[in-house]
């Protein structure tokens, strides 16, 4: 029996339609994934009823003994997972975690240096529309014409800017980030090195991407994306003083009561990340992204940096007569969900863009491997080659719907 169906048929029906969409369409947005049913169960648990302002053994409410157990489990598993000494698992999102880093370590107007949004950075890395670009004096570095970071150039910029914090990490960068070099740059100018690994965290814990530890002073991540856990954020460090500042920045400075049910789900997700199967998953995520990129290059499409070392590829349409928005819509009509994305050398607005970002984590979670990704990549190219052919889009959608039937991750009994 579904309590939701009986109580609120409108929302139940929307949930059913979303389940159908996730099942029939191919989810290829690089920042999305499918989490475990156990994670979703924890998110819908009785802990949604509990207020627990404060931290384990230091709460402002009574009745938190079991909430303490949940949060401590999440902290312990996170520290084991990333090989760090301190973790704050309360941030509601990655952006919230990043806000706490700045609030705890900077004063209004202090200088921060982060990756340019159009070159693959994130809004919270100093972009002017974001609080990070409005509350602080933000400067940017980017990629070269080959689509890769030039660490010598970043050092030059850092020496000229003299930032208090250097942010490394990206939202749309297909190559491995060298955290050791970023620490050397930070040390050269006396800056704090802050690593935002929201996109690559799942690869990091599997040993499939360089770890920010022991190089970074402070690290943030989301717990979904490549970690395949619940939607949320986290802050980590090996520095006790920074840990204290992060705790104070999250509560009471930025957030009130933590979402204990989400923290429980984070703990469940971390248990999955600690399992032997996780390494196999991360290896497959990279292998799938690699074949995706190789096929698209063979079909004549330009990839920023020419390929990928991680879970995503970034296609550039600077030399095409259609935009990222056009590609996003056409692929959506064909049953493939991606997102339009700015690219280095961007000539169009952020609402239109000259590129799309495509990721492998979600379809890898469904069990797809190189064979399926090669097939999908060719279908993507077919659609882009005939961007205005709606009949082709409909045909591809039907083909991919048949493919998806063999890789069902959820069914109606899941939730």
- Looking at the structure, tell me whether residues 71 and 143 fall in a common domain: yes
Instruction: Identify whether 1 is part of a domain.
Output: no
Residue pair 233/218 in contact (Cβ under 8 Å)? The answer is: no
Strand stretches in 324-394, DSSP E: 336-337, 339-341, 355-359
| Residues 137, 224 within the same domain | yes
Question: Same domain, yes or no, for 112 and 139?
Answer: yes
- Domain boundary pick from 258, 273, 288: 273
Q: Contact 276/205 with Cβ under 8 angstroms?
A: no
C-alpha–C-alpha distance, residues 202 and 269, integer Å: 11
**CATH number of the domain within which 57 lies:** 3.40.640.10
* Model pLDDT, residue 2: 81
Q: Is the pLDDT of residue 410 over 90?
A: no
Same domain, 261 and 323: no
- Of 273, 290, 311, which one is at a domain's C-terminal end? 273
Task: Let me know if 53 is a catalytic residue.
Answer: yes
- Is 282 within 8 Å of 272 (Cβ atoms)? no
Residues 222 and 308 grouped into a single domain: no
- pLDDT tens track for 60-77: 999 999 999 999 999 999
* Percent of the chain residues past pLDDT 90, beyond the cut: 97
Q: Note the pLDDT of residue 90.
A: 98
pLDDT, mean of residues 217-242: 98
Q: Catalytic pick from 27, 32, 196, 328?
A: 196
Whole-prediction pTM value?
0.96
Is 51 marked active-site? Answer: yes
| CATH code for the domain in which residue 330 is found | 3.90.1150.10
Q: Are residues 268 and 292 located together in one domain of the fold?
A: no
Query: What pLDDT digit, counting tens, does each position of 87-131 carry?
Result: 999 999 999 999 999 999 999 999 999 999 999 999 999 999 999
Catalytic residue, from 50, 59, 175, 225: name it.
Answer: 225
Candidates 16, 24, 41, 53; catalytic one: 53
* Residue 222 annotated as catalytic: yes
Q: Do 165 and 305 share a domain, yes or no?
A: no
- Whether residue 180 lies inside any domain: the answer is yes
List the domain range (segments joined by +) for residue 108: 40-273
The mean per-residue pLDDT over the stretch 369-375 comes to 98
Q: Do 113 and 175 have their domain in common?
A: yes
CA 273 – CA 371 distance, rounded (Å)? 25
Q: Given the residues 77, 231, 290, 397, select the one marked as catalytic.
A: 231
Q: Model confidence at 366, in pLDDT bands (50, 70, 90)?
A: very high
Q: Tell which of 221, 241, 273 closes a domain.
A: 273
The tens digit of pLDDT for each residue in 292-313 reads 999 999 999 999 999 999 999 9
> pLDDT digit string (tens) for 335-355?
999 999 999 999 999 999 999
pLDDT of residue 413: 56
Single out the residue of 217, 214, 226 nearest to residue 170, CA to CA. Answer: 226
| Domain match, 351 and 365 both | yes
Q: How many domains does the chain have?
A: 2
- Catalytic pick from 35, 222, 237, 342? 222
Q: What is the pLDDT of residue 313?
A: 98
CA distance 280 to 257: 36
Is the residue at 414 inside a domain? Answer: no
- The answer to whether residue 231 is catalytic is yes
């Amino acid at each position: 029996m579904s309590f939701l169906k009986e109580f609120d048929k409108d929302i139940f029906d929307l949930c059913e339609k979303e389940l159908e969409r996730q099942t029939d369409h191919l989810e290829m947005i690089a920042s999305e994934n499918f989490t475990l049913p156990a994670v979703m169960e924890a998110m819908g648990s009785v802990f949604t009823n509990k207020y627990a302002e404060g931290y384990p053994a230091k709460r402002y409410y009574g009745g938190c003994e079991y909430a303490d157990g949940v949060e401590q489990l999440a902290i312990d598993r996170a520290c084991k997972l990333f090989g760090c000494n301190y973790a704050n698992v309360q941030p509601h999102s990655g952006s919230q975690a990043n806000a706490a880093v700045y609030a705890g370590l900077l004063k209004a107007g202090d200088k921060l240096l982060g990756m340019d949004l159009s070159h693959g950075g994130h809004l919270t890395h100093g972009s002017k529309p974001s609080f990070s670009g409005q509350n602080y004096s933000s400067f940017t570095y980017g990629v070269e014409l080959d689509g890769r970071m030039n660490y010598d150039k970043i050092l030059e910029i850092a020496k000229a800017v003299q930032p208090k914090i250097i942010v490394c990490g990206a939202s749309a960068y297909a190559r491995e980030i060298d955290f050791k070099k970023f620490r050397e740059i930070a040390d050269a100018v006396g800056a704090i090195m802050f690593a935002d690994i929201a996109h690559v965290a799942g690869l990091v814990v599997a040993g499939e991407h360089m770890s920010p530890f022991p190089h970074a002073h402070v690290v943030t991540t989301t717990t979904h994306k490549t970690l395949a856990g619940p939607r949320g954020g986290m802050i980590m460090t090996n520095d006790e003083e920074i840990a204290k500042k992060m705790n104070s920045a999250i509560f009471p400075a930025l957030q009130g009561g933590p979402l204990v049910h989400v923290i429980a789900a984070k703990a469940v997700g971390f248990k999955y990340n600690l399992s032997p199967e996780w390494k196999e998953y991360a290896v497959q995520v990279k292998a799938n992204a690699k074949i995706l990129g190789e096929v698209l290059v063979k079909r004549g499409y330009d990839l920023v940096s020419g390929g990928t070392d991680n879970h995503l590829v970034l296609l550039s349409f600077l030399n095409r007569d259609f935009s990222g928005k056009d590609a996003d819509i056409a692929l959506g009509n064909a049953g493939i969900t991606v997102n339009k994305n700015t690219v280095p050398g961007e000539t169009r607005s952020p609402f239109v863009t000259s590129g799309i970002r495509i990721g492998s984590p979600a379809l890898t979670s469904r069990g797809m491997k190189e064979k399926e990704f090669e097939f999908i990549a060719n279908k993507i190219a077919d659609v882009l080659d005939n961007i205005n052919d709606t009949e082709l889009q409909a045909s591809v959608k039907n083909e991919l719907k048949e493919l998806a039937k063999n890789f069902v991750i959820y069914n109606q009994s899941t939730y």
